[in-house]
């Protein structure tokens, strides 16, 4: 259930990443609420990717799915 909620939230974020040539792939959602993602395309090599991850993706996911504790790139 938690994974499905995260997938739905990522679908709303994905168009913004794709507009800049990037994307995000959900790898895992742990039992303690850690979301592991893989940044792809331009996002994978962008020097601002950590800011995008923390200030963009993580902030949005925590708002949409309160059970999320952290988002990390793998």
The DSSP-derived string for 19-51 is HTTEEEEEEEE-TTSEEEEEEEEHHHH-TTHHH
Report the distance separating Cα 59 and Cα 61, nearest Å: 6
Could you tell me which CATH class the domain 2-73 is placed in?
A: alpha beta
Q: Is the pLDDT of residue 37 over 90?
A: yes
pLDDT of residue 50: 87
Sign for the pseudo-dihedral over CA of 29, 33, 34, 40: positive
Mean pLDDT of 65-73: 95
Answer for the pair 69, 7: CB distance below 8 angstroms, yes or no: no
pLDDT band for position 69 (cuts 50, 70, 90): very high
Question: pTM for this structure?
Answer: 0.90
pLDDT of residue 43: 84
Q: What are 54-63's pLDDT values in tens digits?
A: 989 999 999 9
Strand order in the sheet with 34-41: 22-29, 34-41, 70-73
pLDDT of residue 72: 95
């Amino acid at each position: 259930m938690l994974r499905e909620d995260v997938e739905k939230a990522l679908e709303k974020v994905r168009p913004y990443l794709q507009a800049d040539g990037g994307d995000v792939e959900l790898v895992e959602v742990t039992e303690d609420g850690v979301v592991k993602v893989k940044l792809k395309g331009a996002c994978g090599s962008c020097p601002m990717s950590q800011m995008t991850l923390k200030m963009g993706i993580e902030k949005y996911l925590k708002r949409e799915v309160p059970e999320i504790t952290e988002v990390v790139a793998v």
